[in-house]
Amino acid sequence: MSKAKTLLVKVAEIKGRCPVYQIGDSFQIVDGFRLVAEKPLCMHSLASLMPYYVALSRGISPVELGLAREGEVAYLQCPDPCERTSGGTVVFAIRSEGAGEQR
């Protein structure tokens, strides 16, 4: 069994106002299951990552998963409906350790 790759999850965009994240904030998922963060995380954002983090950490292409048009960076969005909650929807860029740089 191959070792899971470390995933770097970075805030790429915020639509509206997010009370937790700022653009550029990041955290890691190490060994396919250990969440490493220096700042608080939003539970809503974790819900959007749950269906995909194992596949991404095992090297499945973001394109194959439908999370990118091309390249090695996956894009996910938190489920906050923004205008309806006075909150903000956050777009995350996710890349595995050693993958190409984010755009």
Rounded CA-CA distance 81/87 in Å is 7
pLDDT for 99? 55
**For residue 34, what are its two tokens?**
């250990």
Cα–Cα distance list, 101 to 12, 35, 48, 62, 82 (Å): 13, 21, 22, 14, 28
The burial class, CB within 10 Å (0-12 / 13-18 / 19+), for 103 is: exposed
Q: Please write the tens of the pLDDT for every residue from 1-57.
A: 568 999 999 999 999 889 899 999 999 999 999 999 999 999 989 999 999 999 999
pLDDT for 82? 74
Rounded CA-CA distance 102/99 in Å is 9
